[in-house]
């Protein structure tokens, strides 16, 4: 379990798609690590942690969902499941070839090989790594700054503000070599990127990007596969944690998934009982806990806690 600094979390009240107001809560924030969850650490044990002093309650992120009720009043806390998601991950077993064989059909693996050969034939350079691919790795502080510049160039090519996650502060993590950025180049131009953050035996997925005009060349897929091949050649790493939430990319590369939840535990005061009862009424009208404007806003607010 990772304990993050106390945060002010605005609990949004949305009725019929309209955000009426938010109630600020001072919360301790904790989250389970992927190895802990896969190792069988009980979700109930995490949910029943004592609430620290000086806060309204605790926000539990990235915990396995054993099928909790959405709203439950306990003797020592009131629990409310704010969101439920699928938590995708990649668990490494053996060499890169075994990963490909276990995750993809022979037809798909052949397609990957053709895409890479086609890219090398069109954009490869003599002396480049991976048989001609110009894939560059960035890990130290100064290198991460360069990675961010290349990621910004990839975003600008598509006319978007930026790749989510590339505004990370490289600071201590980069100094420790924990940030891992990869950029694929075509004719010396950055066309796709991916960034991960190492924590123990887990590589947490941070962000990725791909120029729209290079999707036909499968630049994003090539970058991800080459990054995974290089990272998992290092025996320190066993998992890629794609974090809770659905996306096509996660479904493409993950070889495992579990149900996860974000749980709000508040002290059982009269004020908190009334607050969560009212929140439950408003959320049922706006789709919180699954899909809808309330749950979408909560997910956006949770992302800001990283």
Same-domain pairing of 119 and 220: yes
The residue segments making up the domain with residue 118 are: 93-237
| pLDDT tens digits for range 236-267 | 999 999 999 888 999 999 999 999 999 999 99
Same domain, 45 and 114: no
Any domain includes 116: yes
Structure tokens at 277: 């009862």
Biggest CA-to-CA distance, the chain: 71
79 lies in the same domain as 104: no
Q: Are residues 277 and 183 in the same domain?
A: no
pTM to 2 decimal places: 0.84
Task: Give the whole-angstrom CA distance, residue 92 versus residue 241.
Answer: 11
Residues 161 and 125 in one domain: yes
Q: Does residue 226 sit within a domain?
A: yes
Is the model's pLDDT at 161 over the cut of 50?
Answer: no
Q: What's the pLDDT score for residue 31?
A: 86
pLDDT of residue 7: 86
Query: 125: domain CATH number?
Result: 3.40.630.30
pLDDT at residue number 162: 47
Using one digit for the tens of pLDDT, what is the confidence trace for 183-226?
999 999 999 999 999 999 999 999 899 999 999 999 999 999 99
56 pLDDT above the threshold of 70: yes
Query: How confident is the model over 127-150, as a mean pLDDT?
Result: 80
pLDDT for 165 equals: 52
Mean pLDDT, to the nearest integer, of 138-156? 87
């Amino acid at each position: 379990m990772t304990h993050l600094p106390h945060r002010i979390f605005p609990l949004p009240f949305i009725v019929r798609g309209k955000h009426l107001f938010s109630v600020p809560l001072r919360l301790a924030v904790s989250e389970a690590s992927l190895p802990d969850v896969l190792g069988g650490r009980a979700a109930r044990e995490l949910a029943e942690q004592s609430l620290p002093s000086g806060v309204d309650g605790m926000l539990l992120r990235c915990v396995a969902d054993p099928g909790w009720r959405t709203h439950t009043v306990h003797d020592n806390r009131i629990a409310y499941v704010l969101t439920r998601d699928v938590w995708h991950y990649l668990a490494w077993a053996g060499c890169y070839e075994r990963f490909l064989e276990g995750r993809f059909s022979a037809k798909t693996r052949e397609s990957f090989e053709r895409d890479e050969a086609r890219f090398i034939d069109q954009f490869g350079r003599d002396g480049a790594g991976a048989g001609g691919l110009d894939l560059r790795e960035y890990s130290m502080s100064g290198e991460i700054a360069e990675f961010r510049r290349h990621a910004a160039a990839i975003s600008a090519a598509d006319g978007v503000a930026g790749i989510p996650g590339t505004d990370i502060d490289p600071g201590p993590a980069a100094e420790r070599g924990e940030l891992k950025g990869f950029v694929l180049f075509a004719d010396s131009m950055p066309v796709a990127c991916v960034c991960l953050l190492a924590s123990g035996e887990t590589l947490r997925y941070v962000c990725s990007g791909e120029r729209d005009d290079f999707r036909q060349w499968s630049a994003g897929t090539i970058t991800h596969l080459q990054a995974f091949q290089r990272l998992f050649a290092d025996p320190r790493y066993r998992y890629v944690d794609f974090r809770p939430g659905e996306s096509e990319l996660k479904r493409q590369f993950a070889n495992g998934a579990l149900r996860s939840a974000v749980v709000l535990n508040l002290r059982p005061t009269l004020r908190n009982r009334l607050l969560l009862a009212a929140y439950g009424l408003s959320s049922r009208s706006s789709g919180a806990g699954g899909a809808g404007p309330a749950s979408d806003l909560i997910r956006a607010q949770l992302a800001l806690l990283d």
